[in-house]
Amino acid sequence: MTDQEVEKMVKEELKKKKARAKKAQPVSMSHEKIITMALNNIKNSVKSCEMTGKVSFGKTKFPYANENDVIKALRQACVDNGVMIMPSYESHETDNKGNVVTVMDVKISHVSGAVWPYVIKTAGTCGQNNILGSQTSAMRVFYLKLFHMYTGDDPELITQAEGEQAQGKSNGITPKAGGMKSVMDWVMKAQPGAAEEDRTKRLGLLNTLLAEKSMPPVKIHTQVTDTQWLELATHIKTKD
């Protein structure tokens, strides 16, 4: 074997060793990346959930996804992706009407040992001095927002007057006439969804209807008068 052949053989062997070393080098990921990838997998596999809860305030009636519905939809996906979500109570405040606002701390970890470096805070509210109910509300909001789950329920449709009446604390304000329900049902059907962007689009659609009847825009649907609701209810019949 010539010196050139030996030299070539040595070079090839060194090249193979470098390739093996490079291939065997462990790939490291940060805790944030591990958990983010797992959460994204869950988000891709769970997009919505059942709605077995019922809201009934005055003339406003609609189903909504309670915490049990949300957990039922998410649980197996969390297990499959090795994600642990650990809530803990932080504090609560109760006003003179018995409304409780509770703040919860949430930690997220992964079976690999990865831990999300920040504690996430979420808040919920419930009436009748119900602290446990406000904790449940806080976690329901957390799950829905974290995984961008579509439920279709829309608590913003409950007017202040109807809410007070349902709590037995009516201030004398008459609930909106039936025209409001007809209009808001039409708006909800045209622009469904529970995300903030969906609510903004619904308000925009409501203001479009008002403009079509030469009425001023509003910042929130409760600013629409009973008379305007009835006029809009008649107006949307021409669009169906």
Q: Domain residue spans in the chain?
A: 23-156, 176-240
pTM score of the predicted model: 0.55
Cβ neighbours of residue 159 closer than 8 Å, sequence gap 6 or more: 57, 58, 60, 175, 176, 180, 222
193-209 pLDDT tens trace: 777 777 888 888 888 88
- Which of 122-131, 156-165, 189-198 is modeled with the greatest confidence? 122-131
Given this model, what pLDDT does residue 143 score?
Answer: 94
Given this model, what pLDDT does residue 21 score?
Answer: 67
**Averaged confidence pLDDT in the chain:** 80
* pLDDT value at 238 more than 60: yes
Structure token pair of residue 177: 């006439």
Q: Which residue has the tokens 């008379």?
A: 227
238: left (phi over 0), alpha (psi -120 to 50) or beta: alpha
* pLDDT value at 152 more than 70: no
Given this model, what pLDDT does residue 24 score?
Answer: 53
99-120 pLDDT tens trace: 889 999 999 999 999 999 999 9
Given this model, what pLDDT does residue 1 score?
Answer: 66
Handedness of CA 127, 133, 137, 138 (dihedral sign): positive
* pLDDT value at 30 more than 50: yes
Type and span of the H or E element at 190? helix 178-190
51-99 pLDDT tens trace: 887 766 555 566 778 889 999 999 999 999 999 999 999 999 988 878 8
* pLDDT value at 22 more than 70: no
